[in-house]
Chain A
Amino acid sequence: MTDRDGAIAAPARGFLRDLRRLSVFTVKRLAALFLTVLVGVYLTILIANMGGQVDELRMVQIQSTVAEQVRADPAFFDLSAQERNELIQRQVQLEVDRLRLDQPFIVRSVDYLQQAIRLDLGRSEHMHSDRGAREVYWIIVERLPATLLLFGTANLLVFFASVFIALGLSRRYGSALDRSVIALAPSSAAPGWFYGIFLILLFAFVIPILPAGGMVDVPPPEGTLAYAASLLRHMLLPVTAMFISTIFISIYSWRTFFLIHSSEDYVEMARAKGLPSGLIERRYVLRPTLSPIITSFALMLIGLWSGAIILEQVFNWPGLGTLLFQAIGHRDTPVIIGTVVIFAYLLAVTVFLLDILYALLDPRVRVGTG
C-alpha cells in the first residue's frame, strides 16, 4: 500500500520529465530494434538461399518439372520435337518470369526482405500443411499450438517451481535439503530427450500406462473433455522429461542469484530494522531483482517458439522444431525464412517490452537514460 502512496505524491514535474525521457528512449530503442530485425532477416535470406546458389538448383528443377509435365500431357503428344521444345522453353520462361529468376539475386533479395518484413511469408516450395495449404503462414500456424502447449507447460512449471524453491533454499543455505538439491544439479547435463527415452521405456513399455508418443489418441476422441484428457496423457511424459532435465540446474542458478542478492547491505539493513522475513523477501530481495527475473522469464517465453528438434522427434510431437528440421532438409527456403522472420519479430517485440518494463521497474534506468 505504501508503494502507491509514495508514487501518487511524486511531484508532477518529475513525472513529466520522466515521460519525455521515456518517449525519446522509446523511439531510439524502436529504431535500433527494427534495424536488428532487418539485419537478422536479411542474413537469413542470404543464408537460406546460399547467396543465390539455390537459384541454380531451382532452374534445373523447373526445367525438369516442366519437361516432365509437357511430355506426360496427352494434349501435346502430336507436337513435333521442335515444337515441344519451344513449348517447354516458353513454359520455363513463364515460370522464370513468375519467380523473376532472370533478375540478379541481390535485387530479388531486397524484395524478399521487403515481403518478409511485411510478414508476407509467401508460399512454400515443397511442404504443405496437414490441411494441404501451401501458404507458409498456415504451415507455421498449424504447428504453433502444439509447440506452445508442450513447451509452455514444461517451461512455466520449471520457471515458477525453481524460482520459489530457490528462494526457500537461499533462506536455508547449507541445510541438508539445500545440499542435496545442489548435489542433484549435474542431472541437468543430460538433455530432455535423453530422459524421455527412459521414461518412454519405463512407462510405455515396461509398465504400459502412458502412450509412447504423439499428441492425442488415434482417432482423436470426441468431446472436449475426452480430447483434453487424451492430450494430457500424451503430454505427461515429455513434460516430465523436460522438467527433470532442467529443474535442478535452474534451482541451482536461482538459488545462487538469490544468495548473492540477499547479502546486499540493504537486505541486512532491512533485517536489522526488524522487518518480518516475508516483507524482506518481497521488498528487499525480489523487488530490486525483478528486472533480471523478468528478463529470464521473457527469454524463456521466446525460447518456446523454436521448439526442440530432438525431443519432438523422440515423442513424435508435431511441433515447430520438427517443421524447421524438415524445411532445412527439403531446402524449403520460404518456410525457413518464415520461421526465422516470426522468431525475429517476437524477439524484438519482447526485448522492446522488456526495455519499457525495466524503466517502469527500476528508477535508475528511468532517470539515467536522459
Chain B
Amino acid sequence: MASEPLLRVEDLRLHYRSGNGVVRALDGVSFDIRRNEALVVLGESGCGKSTLAKALMRLLPRNVQHFSGNLLVDGVETMGFSEERFRREVRWVRISMVMQAAMNALNPVIRVGEQVAEPLRVHRGWSARQARERTAEVFGLVGISADFLQRYPFELSGGMRQRAVLAMALVTEPDLVIMDEPTSALDVLTQASIMNALKRIKQELGTSFILITHDISTSSEIAERVALMYAGQLVEFADAKDFFGEPAHPYSKLLMASVPRLHQEETPVHIPGQPPNLLDPPEGCRFAERCPSRFDRCDRDPETFRIGNRRTVRCWLHAAGSRV
C-alpha cells in the first residue's frame, strides 16, 4: 500500500446549469497527493479552484448537471459511496477543509469551542467534556488561547477566526486538509504566522495539505507539489522546485513572470486577454488565444504529456513526452 497515494483524483468533471447554459467548471482534472505532502493548486479567479475544493468533499452546487470521475482515498474508490456513507467515512474523518470565506464559516450563534468540538461529538461520539479538552489542545496547536472556547465568533478578530476554523479542520486529525484561500483576506503578518503554524502542524501531525490559492509568493513557502489550473483544467502538475524553477507550460511561464519580485528591475509581465468563458470553452487548447507559442496543433484539445517522473503538462509543445 506504500505506493498508493493518499488521494488520487482521476478525470474529475463537474458541470452545472446556469441561466445561460451549462458551465463546465471542472473538465477532466487528474492529480494525486501523498501522505504528509503539501500540494498547492494555483490559478486565476474563476478557473475552477474552489469548485475543485468542494468537489473533493462532494459539496456539489444545487444546480449540478454532471459529476463524474474517480476519487480514490487510500486506493478505495469513493465515487460509488452513498451520500450517508461518504458523510460518515470521508468528510472530516479522512478529509477536512477550510473554506474560502472562513470569516463566515462559523455559525454566529454558537460558541466557537462548541463548533470546533462538534465533529468529535458527531464522528467519534465523544462526550462534551472529552471533546472540549481535545479542542483546547488543538487551539494551542494553532495558536489561540483556550479562553476563546467560550467566545462567540463575532468576538474574535479575523485572524483568530481563521485559526479557529483551522483548528476545526484539524480536530479529528484527518489525513488531508483542503484549504481554499486560507489567508487571502488577512494582513501579511497574520498570513505569515498562519503559514508558519501550517508548516509546524504538517511536521507534528503528518497531515497532507491541499492549498488552493492565487497567491504564488505565500504558497511557495510551503509547497512541495504544484498544480496549475486554467479554465477548468489542470495545465501543469509538478514538483514545486521544478515548477517555480523552470515552468513548462506557456501559461506557467507567463504566470511566473507576472509575479513581482524585490530587487529586480524588470516590470512584471501582464498576460493579455482573459480566460475563456466556461459556458462555451473554445475547441482545442483553452489557453491558445493568449499563448505566445501557439501553433497549428493548438486547434485540437491538447493531451496531457509526462515529462520525467514527476511532471505532467497539458500542451502540444511537450508532445515529445510520454502520453498519460
Contacts and interface: CB of A to CB of B under 8 A. Distances in A.
A287 B152 contact: no
Contact of A174 (B63, B99, B113, B154): B63
Contacts of A276: 87, 122
Interface string A239-282: 00000000000000000000000001110111111111001000
A2 B114 contact: yes
A266 B150 contact: no
A273 B105 contact: no
A5 B129 CA distance: 9
Nearest to A259: B62
Contacts of B122: 273-276, 279
Given A268-B99, A288-B107, A10 B91 contact: no
**Interface footprint category on A:** 20 to 34
A283 B88 CA distance: 19
A107 interface: no
B92 interface: yes
A219 interface: no
Nearest to A264: B104
B110 interface: yes
B107 A272 contact: no
A4 to B, nearest CB: 9
Interface in A351-367: 361-364, 367
Interface in A280-298: 283-284, 287-288
A274 B87 contact: yes
A284 B109 CA distance: 9
Nearest to B97: A272
A279 B165 CA distance: 19
B123 interface: yes
Given A2-B114, A287-B109, A274 B59 contact: no
Contacts of B168: 273
Nearest to A362: B109
Majority SS at the chain A contact face? helix
B71 to A, nearest CB: 15
Nearest to A289: B109
Contacts of B96: 272-273
A353 B97 CA distance: 40
B198 interface: no
Contacts of B152: 363-364, 367
B307 interface: no
Contacts of B90: 274
Interface string B109-120: 111011001110
B93 interface: yes
A266 B105 contact: yes
A265 B107 CA distance: 9
A272 B92 contact: yes
B174 to A, nearest CB: 10
A11 interface: yes
Interface of A: 1-3, 5-6, 9-11, 14, 173-174, 264-266, 268-276, 279, 283-284, 287-288, 361-364, 367
11 contacts: A265-B104, A268-B54, A269-B106, A272-B57, A272-B91, A273-B119, A273-B168, A288-B109, A364-B109, A364-B152, A364-B154
Given A2-B118, A272-B96, A364-B108, 12 more contacts: A3-B114, A6-B113, A6-B114, A10-B150, A268-B54, A268-B99, A269-B99, A273-B91, A274-B93, A283-B107, A287-B110, A363-B108
